[in-house]
Amino acid sequence: MNDVAIGVDVGGTKALALIVARDGRVLGEVMSPTPHDESHGAGEATAEVLTDQVLQLATRHGLKANGVPVGIGLPGLMRRDGHLAFAPNLQSASGADLGALLGSSLGSSLVYCENDANCAALCEHEWGAGRGIDDFVMVTLGTGIGGGVIADGELVRGRSGFAGEIGHMVVDARGAACLCGGFGCWERYASGGGLGRLTREAAEEGRLPTLVAQRGGTEFVSAEDVTAAAAEGLDEALALVREVGWWLALGLSNLAAILDCGHFVIGGGLSSASDLVLPYAREYLIDLVEGYDVRPTITIMKSMFGPRSGAMGAALVAFERHS
């Protein structure tokens, strides 16, 4: 068994590569912008960046790049065979087998791929806020909502490996249009993107008068303005944060109904607003979960490793599949 593995979390804007010890300690990191060059073959530009990251980390630690297991966390529908079947936020790599591309450029047979939110779930389960908990869901709140489902101690991958697409659970059948082509998807309400959308809606409907006056127009009020004003206690901003908390709780209560998970770990880019949103979500969950009072308490915690959980989990995937 290897002492270290490299995990890379490929996001829509940046790729974070970490070299990680078997006990979860992060020994080194490289961050690069994610290329969106579609002129080469699918995934080739991405594979080049990842190759460079792996080589940097391996060299820095005196290791051969083809001797270290490497895990890659990718956004979108990851097939069990390693192909990225559908990736709206990483179009240039859609359809690619990044494991094969990276393996070939490194001369390594130790490259493994997994969905990014699944990686985060595995990381939190092994080392973080889901440690020792057999039934929980990792919820990553970013532009959209990603998810990783742990049931009875195991990651639920589903038939093709696509499980955990919780952001596209429809919670409002006649609701807002989603990039996926559907309507009323959860991520249109409870993510960073959802907060942005609700902010525009509220500004236009006159529910954010102070912020609109401060910014000089409805179109200049951002989700960040709302978060900052809510942190300072501005009522109109708090009302909007409360609304996001309600929508977050609604989706969590659906997951609790389907999976009877007693715990949620919240990660992703909205995490900075989590301190404001989560207390409301916890409050609303009590009303929204069927039979809440006959269940043990349902807990919601923030991710222990924040933006690193995806890459750490990718390293964990590499450890586990390699062993």
Interacting span for a second copy (CB under 8 A) from 40-48, 194-202, 227-235, 283-291: 283-291
Between residue 61 and residue 120, which ones bind a second copy under the rule CB under 8 A? Answer: 77, 85-86
CA distance linking residue 20 with residue 245, whole number of Å: 34
The answer to the question of residue 308 lying near a second copy (CB under 8 A) is no
The answer to the question of residue 291 lying near a second copy (CB under 8 A) is yes
Q: How far is the CB of 126 from a second copy (least distance, A)?
A: 19
Interacting span for a second copy (CB under 8 A) from 62-70, 117-125, 164-172, 226-234: 164-172
Q: Which amino acid is at 121?
A: A
Q: Are strands 77-78 and 154-155 parallel, antiparallel or unpaired?
A: unpaired
Q: How far is the CB of 51 from a second copy (least distance, A)?
A: 26
Contacts of 316 (CB under 8 A, 6+ apart): 5, 7, 20, 71, 119, 122, 123, 126, 127
The answer to the question of residue 173 lying near a second copy (CB under 8 A) is yes
Q: What number of chain residues touch a second copy (CB under 8 A)?
A: 51
Q: Which amino acid is at 278?
A: L
Per-residue binding letters, 187-226, with a second copy (x by CB under 8 A): ----------------------------------------
Cα–Cα nearest to 171, from 264, 256, 250: 250
The answer to the question of residue 232 lying near a second copy (CB under 8 A) is no
For 29, other C-beta atoms within 10 Å of its C-beta total 15
Q: Which amino acid is at 78?
A: M
CA distance linking residue 255 with residue 253, whole number of Å: 5
One of 166, 237, 316, 318 touching a second copy (CB under 8 A): 166
Interacting span for a second copy (CB under 8 A) from 40-48, 118-126, 172-180, 205-213: 172-180
CA distance linking residue 49 with residue 282, whole number of Å: 40
What b/e sequence results for 176-206 when a residue is b if at least 16 CB atoms lie within 10 Å of its CB, and e otherwise?
bebeeeeebbbbbbbbbbbbbbbbbebbeee
Q: Tell me which residues touch a second copy (CB under 8 A).
A: 77, 85-86, 134-135, 147, 149, 151-152, 154, 156-166, 168-175, 180-182, 184, 247, 250, 253-255, 257-262, 287-288, 290-291, 294-296
